């Protein structure tokens, strides 16, 4: 099966009491182009997160994409450290490059504004693509068909 | 087929925590930095960078569990 290979991104984490030498976190992150139903687009980072129920992106991306959060259907979502985030949904297209392009019903959540990146979750991403996480080789692959 | 990466630890090193940054993927350099996302995009556009990659400088370089 043809697949696209992505490198893990390295994120350096400052020293803390349990990790006095700091840490290097390897995260399955990729550059993505988001295209909204308005036709507006934004290039950003997304993290493949098999623990996320669906695809979510920062709510402050919405005005840049020409979307009105108050006009969208909402529910409440939560993550570690955040809960009861009002999350508004719309269909967007996500392009990871190399032929990996898909349409998904994504949530715009304030819970991701501080991070400034999107999460690709089970519904709308992992249900569409087979993904292999090869942490030891510092890469992950996404099958393209 | 492999995809290239960007070293954000170098690119974002001296930028203010919490800032939105627009990066030229072609040149691998920061083209704009602002406290608001739209302002960073406007600055990038003014410099002719119409499709920058936007990232946010972490408030603190701490671990991430989502």
Section A8-35 average pLDDT: 89
CB contact under 8 A, B62 and A9: no
- What is the distance between the alpha carbons of residues A47 and B25, in angstroms, rounded to a whole number? 18
B25: chain A residues, CB-CB within 8 Å: 31, 43
Provide the pLDDT confidence category of residue B61 given band limits of 50, 70 and 90.
low
**pLDDT at position B2, please?**
58
Nearest in space to A69 (alpha carbons), one of A88, A84, A42: A88
Residues of chain B in Cβ contact (below 8 Å) with chain A? 1-9, 18, 20, 25, 37-38, 41, 51-56, 58-66
Asked if residues B56 and B19 have their Cβ atoms less than 8 Å apart, the reply is yes
Provide the pLDDT confidence category of residue A24 given band limits of 50, 70 and 90.
confident
Q: Which two tokens stand for residue B5?
A: 């990466």
Nearest in space to A125 (alpha carbons), one of A30, A25, A1, A44: A30
pLDDT surpasses 60 at A23? yes
Q: What is the mean pLDDT of chain B?
A: 85
Section B52-66 average pLDDT: 75
Nearest in space to A60 (alpha carbons), one of A109, A121, A103: A109
Question: Picking from A20-29, A58-67, A106-115, B43-52, which range would have the lowest pLDDT averaged per residue?
Answer: A20-29
CB contact under 8 A, A41 and B65: no
- What is the distance between the alpha carbons of residues A143 and A129, in angstroms, rounded to a whole number? 6
DSSP per-residue string spanning B47-62: TT--S-EEEE--SS--
CB contact under 8 A, A98 and B1: yes
Q: Which two tokens stand for residue A15?
A: 């020293």
Choice between A9 and B37, residue whose per-residue pLDDT is larger: B37
Section A101-105 average pLDDT: 97
pLDDT digits (tens, 9 = 90+) for A45-79: 999 999 999 999 999 999 999 999 999 999 998 88
Please name the residue of chain A whose CA is at the shortest distance from the CA of residue B24.
Answer: A43
**CATH of span A30-132:** 2.40.70.10
For residues A99, A104, A107, A112, the Cα torsion angle rounded to the nearest 10 degrees is -10
**pLDDT at position A110, please?**
94
How many CB atoms sit inside 10 A of residue A44's CB?
23
Nearest to B20 among A2, A30, A116 (CB): A116
Q: What is the mean pLDDT of chain A?
A: 93
Nearest to B59 among A52, A64, A114 (CB): A114
**pLDDT at position B33, please?**
96
pLDDT digits (tens, 9 = 90+) for A89-100: 999 999 999 999
Q: Which two tokens stand for residue A41?
A: 């687009």
pTM of this structure: 0.91
Question: Picking from A11-15, A41-45, A65-69, A83-87, which range would have the lowest pLDDT averaged per residue?
Answer: A11-15
Provide the pLDDT confidence category of residue B64 given band limits of 50, 70 and 90.
low
Spacing of C-alpha A6 from chain mean position: 14
Question: Percent of chain B beyond pLDDT 70?
Answer: 82
Per the listing, tokens 């995260």 go with A27
Nearest in space to A45 (alpha carbons), one of A68, A63, A27: A27
Nearest in space to B9 (alpha carbons), one of A27, A12, A14, A8: A12
pLDDT surpasses 80 at B5? no
List chain A domain ranges.
30-132
Strands A100-109 and A56-58: parallel
């Amino acid at each position: 099966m043809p697949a696209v290979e992505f490198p893990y991104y390295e994120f350096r984490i400052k020293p803390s009491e349990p990790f006095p030498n700091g840490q290097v976190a390897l995260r399955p992150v990729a550059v993505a182009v988001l295209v909204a139903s308005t036709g507006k687009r934004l290039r950003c980072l997304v993290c493949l997160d098999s623990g996320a129920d669906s695809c979510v992106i920062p709510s402050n991306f919405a005005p840049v994409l020409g979307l009105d959060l108050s006009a969208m259907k909402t529910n409440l979502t939560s993550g570690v450290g955040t809960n009861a985030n009002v999350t508004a949904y719309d269909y967007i297209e996500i392009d990871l490059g190399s032929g990996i392009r898909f349409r998904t019903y994504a949530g715009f959540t304030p819970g991701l504004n501080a991070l400034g990146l999107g999460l690709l979750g089970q519904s709308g991403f992992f249900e569409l693509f087979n993904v292999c996480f090869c942490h030891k080789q510092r890469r992950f692959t996404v099958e393209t068909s | 087929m492999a995809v290239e990466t960007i070293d954000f630890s170098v690119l974002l090193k001296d930028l203010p925590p919490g800032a939105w940054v627009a990066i030229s993927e072609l040149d691998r350099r920061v083209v704009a930095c602002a406290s608001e996302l739209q302002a960073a995009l406007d600055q990038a556009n003014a410099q002719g960078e119409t499709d920058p990659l936007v990232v946010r400088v972490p408030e603190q370089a701490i671990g991430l569990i989502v």
